[in-house]
Amino acid sequence: MKNKILNMIFTSTSFLIFFTLFYLLYWFVTNKNLRIQNLLLLAGSYFFYALADWRLLAFLVAVSALNYFLGIYIEKTENQLRKRLLLNVGLIQGLGGLIYFKYFNFFIASFNEVLQSLHFNVHVRTLQILLPLGISFFTFKTISYILDVYKGKIEATKDWLVFFNYVSFFPTILSGPIDKARAFVPQLQKKRVFEYSLAVDGMRQILWGMFKKVVIADNILVYTDQIFSNYESLSGSTLLLGAFLYTIQLYADFSGYSDMAIGLGRLLGFNVAKNFNFPFFAQNIADFWRKWHISLTSWLTEYVFTPLSIAFRDYGKLGLILAILINFVLIGIWHGANWTFAVFGFLHGCYFIPLILRGTMNKRKKIAKGKVLPSFRESLNMGATFLLVMLANIIFRADNIGHAWGYFLSILSNPLFSFSTAGMEGINVNPHLLIMLGLSIVMLIFGWFQRNKEHALQFQDMKTSRAFRWSIYYLLAVAIIYYQSSYKQFIYFQF
C-alpha cells in the first residue's frame, strides 16, 4: 500500500496530473452549477482517497453517512435522553473506530508484555488491521460536528453532498488541518467564484510548502534516520545535532504539508484553517502550542481542556495542572499507539506547570513589536522554548521508550566531541549537510520577517520589486527541482 500512498503525495507527478485535470473541470466545466461542482469535488476526493485502497473508501463513506443522519436526528429530537443517546452513538463510533484501528493491537501487545513480566505463558495474538488513512483527522471532524449540533452551536447539515464533502475534502483529509464544520460547511453551501488574488496566493503558499518538504525535510531525513538508528556509537554533540535536525525536519515536513493543503484549498476557493504560525519564535511552551498544529490544539482546547478545567475549577491551580496533563497526554496518544507518544504528551504537559504556578500561561506578548530583531530576553526565551521542544522530540522520534532513554543516556555519557562514526558514513560535516543547515536558517529568516503574515511568501504588502519577488520564486523552484529525489511520505500520514 505504501507505493499507492506515494501516488497521493502532493509533490508527485501523478498528483500534479490529477489536480490539473480536476482544476480545469472544477473552474471551467462545473462552475456554473454549485451542486455539480460539489459532486465533482466529492468524486475527486473519493478518487484521491481510493488510490491507497478502495476498501478504506467504504469505511469513509459509512462514517460520513452515519454522522450525517446522526446530526439531523440529534437536532430534531426534543427528548433529551434520546438526544444524548444519539450523541453517544456518534462518539462511540468515532472514538471506538480510533481505538480499534489505531490502538487495539497496541493494547494486546502491552497486555502480552504484562503477562510475560508476571511469568505467564499466555500470548494473545494481534490482528491484521488495515488502518484507514487520515482516520485521526476525519474522526475529529465528525466528533466536533455532532457535538456542535448537540450543543446548538450549529444547525445540522441537511444536504448530504455538503456534509460528505466536509468530511472527505481531499487537500486536508490525510493530514489536516482539522477544519470545524461551522467554518467550512458554509463555504460548501455558497457559490464559489474564482478569485485571481486568492489563487495566486495559494500558489505562493504551495511553493513555500514544497520547498520546506522537498528541499529541507526530505534531505534532512537522511541524517536524522542514521543518527537515531546508530545513537550508541555517536558523540553527544552529534546526538544533539540529530535532535535539532529532527525538530527542523518535523516542522518543515508537517507545516510544508499544511501550506500545500491550504494553498490547494485556496486554488479551489476555500479558506482552510491555519495550522502553523511560526512556532519557533514562541516565547514559552504555551505560546508554542498556540502556534504549532493549531487546528488540533484548538480542537482539544474546546472539547477536552475547557470542560476539564471547568470540572476541576474547585481545585485551583492543581485542577488546572491536572486538566493540562490529561489534555497533553491525549495530544500525545492521538499521534499513535506507542508509549513514546504518551510520554511526549505528558512531558509537554509538565512544561506548562511553571507557567501555571506563576499565572502566566495565558499571557500573550507580540515578539519584537515594531523592531527588526528580538531583544536579548526574547532571544533567550525563544532559545529555551526551542530546546524544550527539541528534547521532547527525541521521545517523539524514538522507536520505543528504551530507544529514547538510550538516546538521552548517550548524550550524557558519550564524549561530547568525538569524530568516531563507526557505521555512520555520511554523518561527518559535509557540503550537503552544511547546505541543508544553511537553507534551514534561510527558512527561519524568511519566517521571522514574515511572522505577521499567513505564510512566508506573502510579499504583496511589502515594498519589494517585482523582480525581487520573482527571483525568490525561481530560486525556490530551482532548489525544489534540484534537490527532489524519490517521493517520501509525509510524517503525519502515519497518524
In angstroms, the CA 170 to CA 264 distance is 9
Sign of the four-CA dihedral 335, 329, 297, 60: positive
- Determine the average pLDDT of the residues in 167-173: 95
Kindly write down the DSSP assignment for every residue of 367-386, as one continuous string: TTTT-SS--HHHHHHHHHHH
Query: Cell digits for 268?
Result: 479551489
Which among 106-115, 179-188, 467-476 has the top mean pLDDT?
Answer: 179-188
pLDDT at 290: 95
pLDDT at 4: 54
Residues 6+ apart with CB under 8 A from 45: 165, 168, 169, 170, 173
pLDDT at 5: 55
Residue 335 is a catalytic residue: yes
Express each pLDDT in 119-162 by its tens digit. 677 777 777 777 788 899 999 999 999 999 999 999 999 999 99
pLDDT at 426: 44
Contact, 200 vs 460, CB < 8 A?
Answer: no
Q: Which of 293, 335, 348, 455 is catalytic?
A: 335
Residue 138 CA, chain-centre distance (Å), reads 13
Sign of the four-CA dihedral 231, 236, 239, 243: positive
Weakest mean pLDDT among 125-129, 328-332, 433-437: 125-129
pLDDT at 7: 56
CA distance readout (Å), 268 to 173, 194, 381, 453: 15, 8, 39, 21
Residues 6+ apart with CB under 8 A from 476: 207, 208, 210, 211
pLDDT at 487: 58
Nearest residue to 10 via CA among 493, 495, 454: 493
How buried is residue 117: exposed, middle or buried, by Cβ count under 10 Å (0-12/13-18/19+)?
exposed
186 phi and psi angles, rounded to 5 deg:
-60, -30
Q: What's the pTM?
A: 0.93
In angstroms, the CA 414 to CA 167 distance is 49
Query: Cell digits for 80?
Result: 433529551
Alpha helix ranges (H) inside 316-366: 316-334, 339-358
Express each pLDDT in 15-64 by its tens digit. 999 999 999 999 999 999 999 999 999 999 999 998 877 778 999 999 99
pLDDT at 235: 87
In angstroms, the CA 469 to CA 466 distance is 5
pLDDT at 153: 94
In angstroms, the CA 42 to CA 59 distance is 15
Express each pLDDT in 237-255 by its tens digit. 899 999 999 999 999 999 9
For 457, other C-beta atoms within 10 Å of its C-beta total: 24
What's the mean per-residue pLDDT of the chain? Answer: 90
Predicted confidence (pLDDT) at residue 2 exceeds the cutoff of 70: no
- Determine the average pLDDT of the residues in 307-335: 94
When pLDDT is cut at 50, 70 and 90, the band that residue 493 belongs to is low
> Could you give the 3-state DSSP secondary structure of residue 339?
helix
